[in-house]
Chains A and B, each alone.
Chain A
Amino acid sequence: MQNNQQKNTQKARLRPGQMSRPKNLNLLTIRLPINALVSILHRATGCVLFLILPIILLLLQFSLSSAQHYETVIAILHSPFIKIMLLGLAWAFFHHFFAGIRHLAMDVHWMTTLMKARYTSKVVLVLGALATLVLALKIWI
C-alpha cells in the first residue's frame, strides 16, 4: 500500500499534470446497475446494427432484382440457423429502439429520478424481450 503510494507520487513527479490514478479494469469486479446495463447494451446493439448495414442493403437489392433472387433470399431467411441470427439482430434493433426512446424521454426530462430511471430500464429490457418473442412466434408458427 505504502509502496504503491510512493510509486504514485514518483509517477506524478515524473509526468506533471498527469495524475497517476488507480486502475480497476477487472470487469468482473464491477457491478453493473440496470441503467448502466441498458446503456451499454444500447451502445453495443448500435455497433452491431451498424455492422450489418451492408448485409441489409445486399439482401434488399438481391430480393428486388428478380423473382428467382427473391426466392433465394426467402430460402436463406428460412434456414433455422439464419432464423436464430435474425432473431438476435431483431432483438438488437428492438433494444436500441426502446432504449433510444428512453434516452429521448430523459432528454426532455421525463423519468429522470434514479427510481424512475431504474423502472424505465426494466421496461426497456422487458419490451425488447417481448418484441423479440412476438417475432419468434411469428416466424416459427
Chain B
Amino acid sequence: MLIELLTKRYPGMRAWLTQRLSALVMAIYSVFAVARFLIVQPSHYEAWVDFFQPLWWRIATLLFWMSLCLHAWLGIRDVFKDYVPNPSVRDVLDKLLVVSLWVYLVWATWLLLA
C-alpha cells in the first residue's frame, strides 16, 4: 500500500513524503549545528575555518543543503500554486525557482567540497 502510493502514479504523495523527510533531515542537522557551535564556540577566523574543516561535517552540511533545496522547491511551488492563478506566469516563476535552487546547490557544493 505505502510502496504503491510512492510510485510515479501518485506524484502528490511523493512530494508530500519528500517534504517531510527533508524537513526531518534539516531539523536533525539544525539541532546538531547549534549544539556543535555552542560546544566549539569558534571565536576567530582559524577556529571558524576549523569548524568547517572535518569532511563528515561538510558532507552533513551538504546533505542539509540538498534537503533544503528540495524542501524549498516543494514549499515555494505550493505557494505559487495557491497565489498565482495565471498558469503562464506561474510556469515562469516555477522555472525561476528551479534555476535559482540549482544555482544555490551548485554554489554550496563548490563551497563545501572545493
B97-111: which have CB < 8 Å to A? 100, 104, 107-108, 111
Given contacts A46-B75, A57-B111, contact A64 B104 (CB under 8 A): no
Q: Are the CB atoms of B104 and A54 closer together than 8 Å?
A: yes
- Using Cβ atoms and an 8 Å threshold, which residues of chain A touch B111? 57, 60-61, 64
A8 to B30, CA, bound (A): 52
Q: How far is the CB of B38 from chain A (nearest CB, A)?
A: 10
- Using Cβ atoms and an 8 Å threshold, which residues of chain B touch A66? 45
Q: Are the CB atoms of A47 and B79 closer together than 8 Å?
A: yes
Q: How many residues on the B side are at the interface (Cβ–Cβ under 8 A)?
A: 21
Interface 9-residue window, one of A15-23, A75-83, A100-108: A100-108
- Using Cβ atoms and an 8 Å threshold, which residues of chain A touch B108? 57
Query: Which of A46, A49, A54, A64 meets B52, CB within 8 Å?
Result: A64
Query: What secondary structure prevails in chain B residues at the interface with A?
Result: helix
A50 to B79, CA, bound (A): 12
A104 to B24, CA, bound (A): 9
Q: Are the CB atoms of B45 and A97 closer together than 8 Å?
A: no
Q: Are the CB atoms of A97 and B75 closer together than 8 Å?
A: no
Q: Mark A55-66, 1 if CB is under 8 A from B, else 0.
A: 001001101101
Q: How far is the CB of A134 from chain B (nearest CB, A)?
A: 11
A66 to B111, CA, bound (A): 14
Closest to A94 in B: B30
Closest to B103 in A: A54
* CB of B20 closer than 8 Å to a CB of A: yes
Instruction: Output the residue of B23, B24, B45, B46 with the most chain A CB within 10 A.
Output: B45
Q: Mark B26-59, 1 if CB is under 8 A from A, else 0.
A: 0100100000000000001110110010000000
Q: How far is the CB of B63 from chain A (nearest CB, A)?
A: 16
A107 to B111, CA, bound (A): 35
- Using Cβ atoms and an 8 Å threshold, which residues of chain A touch B93? none
A70-105: which have CB < 8 Å to B? 70-71, 97, 100-101, 104
Query: Which of A43, A46, A67, A107 meets B20, CB within 8 Å?
Result: A107
Query: Which of B23, B46, B68, B72 meets A104, CB within 8 Å?
Result: B23
Q: Are the CB atoms of A104 and B20 closer together than 8 Å?
A: yes
